[in-house]
Structure 1
Amino acid sequence: MRASVGVVRELVTGVVPWDEVEAEHRSATLHWLSGTDDVFRRVKPATPPRHLVSYVVPVDPADGSVLLVDHVNAGLWLPPGGHVDPDEHPAETARREAWEELGVPVVAGLVGEEPVFVTVTRTVGIDAGHTDVSLWFVLRLDRQHPLTLDSGEFREARWWSPAELRDADPARFDPHFTRFCAKLQRMHC
């Protein structure tokens, strides 16, 4: 097994599933990782057709608000994030994406070096049809922190309070985002 894939396998093994769906996604991801080293996207948008993504979810520790971006390609409000480069540690991807997409330099702030959530999702939008195996990292970030958005990828960004997220149509977000929020509340990040 490629060393970087072994690292990803260890990260996924360490995720404690929130619910049955996450347990299924974790199990499917571990099965996939044990059967191939071809887990990093090599060619946009979908080669190989299943590949790794790191989400970095900014959370304001003062009030639990979450920063989401209106993603041009997906047509959804999503956490910032992107594809894990070949042999890149997924936590490094999360830090890189925070810088590239938000202008937030991340030296510290990730809750550990481990993802807190794992999902397997068929993509939608312009590049629909491939599968993202997503590792979700939490970034503690004060909502007053200045942002420099990647205008090529996002229409806008906004902070969503826990109440706004509960009241919003779940179809506006990643299909697993509501479950992620429930897990996040339990974690008290």
Structure 2
Amino acid sequence: MTALPSPADFLGDLTQIVSRYLSEDATSREMLSLLRWQIGEGHALDQRTTLPGHLTTSAFIVAPDHSQILLIDHITIGRWLQPGGHYEPAEHFYQSAAREAVEETGVTGLTLHPWHLGQDRPFVIDSHDVPGKPSRNEPPHIHHDLQYLFVADPSAPLVHQAEEVHAAKWTPIAALDEISPKGAARLKTLR
């Protein structure tokens, strides 16, 4: 059993991942200013109560030929999105994204896409507004989402998590254009 990162290790690991993303993968318009400021201030980004934002992880799950993507109909957000959720401690950030994907969709045979080179390297980092959840007295806030690319077989059965997801389904990859323009643009460079 591998030890989970301590709070100091978590922030150190996150700092390295964000720095590498900005220097190697981000477009010139991506600054991630709020995320970098919160890291610098030592905010507990692994806690969903941290405001103005905290960390989430999500999974772009594509068919091996990149023709389809697995999406969920999110109950709280009220739209189709990639599977994901609040960060939960794991040895690697991509493992948090994979866990969420499996929980929400029941997808099997999930593997990290070769683009990642076997490293904890986000495909996209997207900081975005979310409406909050009134039932938890949660105000609107920011999700700093580390998004990872995975591959799975679209013919395997899915079982969606009814508490958080209305449905899970494979759809043509073009759906990603509206959901995540940054993710869609980066994925097009792989085809």
TM-score, L = length of structure 2? 0.79
1:129 aligned partner, one-letter code = P
User: Shift of residue 83 of structure 1?
Assistant: 0.8
**Pairwise CA distance, 1:93:** 0.5
- Where structure 2 has 5 or more consecutive residues not aligned to the other structure, the ranges are 1-6
| Deviation of 1:165 (Å) | 4.9
1:156-179 CA-to-partner distances (Å, cap 9, x unmatched) read 12222134555xxx3xx3xxx122
- CA RMSD in angstroms comes to 2.4
Secondary structure at 2:168 match in 1: strand
* Matched residues, number: 173
Displacement, 1:55?
Answer: 0.5
Contact in 1 for aligned 2:108/2:152 (Cα 8 Å)? no
1:8 aligned counterpart, secondary structure: helix
Q: Describe how 1:165-180 pairs up with structure 2 within 5 A.
A: 165=176, 170=178, 173=179, 177-180=180-183
8 Å CA contact retained: 2:61, 2:70: yes
Residue 7 in structure 1 maps to residue 13 in structure 2: yes
2:127 corresponds to which of 116, 120, 129: 120
Shift of the 157–186 alpha-carbon distance from structure 1 to 2, 3 Å rule, reads: same
Cα deviations by residue, 1:6-57 (Å, 9 ceiling, x for unpaired): 111111222211351xx222x4422321221411125xxxx11211000111
Q: Hey, what's the Cα distance between the residues in 2 that align with 1:123 and 1:85?
A: 18
SS of structure 2 residue aligned to 1:119: strand
State whether residues 110 and 151 of structure 2, in contact with CA within 8 Å, keep that contact through their aligned partners in structure 1.
Answer: no
1:39 equivalent in alignment to 2:42: no
Counterpart code for 1:100: E
Kindly indicate whether residue 160 of structure 2 is the aligned counterpart of residue 187 of structure 1.
no
Contact 1:75/1:125 (CA < 8 Å) preserved in 2? no
Aligned residues with identical type, % of pairs: 27
Distance 2:41 2:190 in 1: 32
**Where does the alignment leave 5 or more consecutive residues of structure 1 unmatched?**
none
Question: Residues 118 and 136 of structure 1 are in contact (CA less than 8 Å); yes or no, is this contact kept in structure 2?
Answer: yes
Q: Is the 8 A contact 1:54 1:136 kept in 2?
A: yes
Residue 163 to residue 4, structure 1, CA distance change in 2 (3 Å): closer
Greater CA drift, 81-90 or 115-124? 81-90
Cross-structure match for 1:151: 162
Q: Equivalent residues in 2 for 1:62-73 (5 A)?
A: 62-73=65-76
Find the counterpart in structure 2 of residue 133 from structure 1.
Answer: 144
1:91 aligns with 2:103: no
- With the length of structure 1 as denominator, give the TM-score of the two structures: 0.79
1:182: Cα distance to partner? 1.0
Q: 1:88 to 1:67 in 2, by over 3 A?
A: same
Instruction: Check 1:14–1:187 CA distance in 2 against 1; reply closer, same or farther (3 A cut).
Output: farther
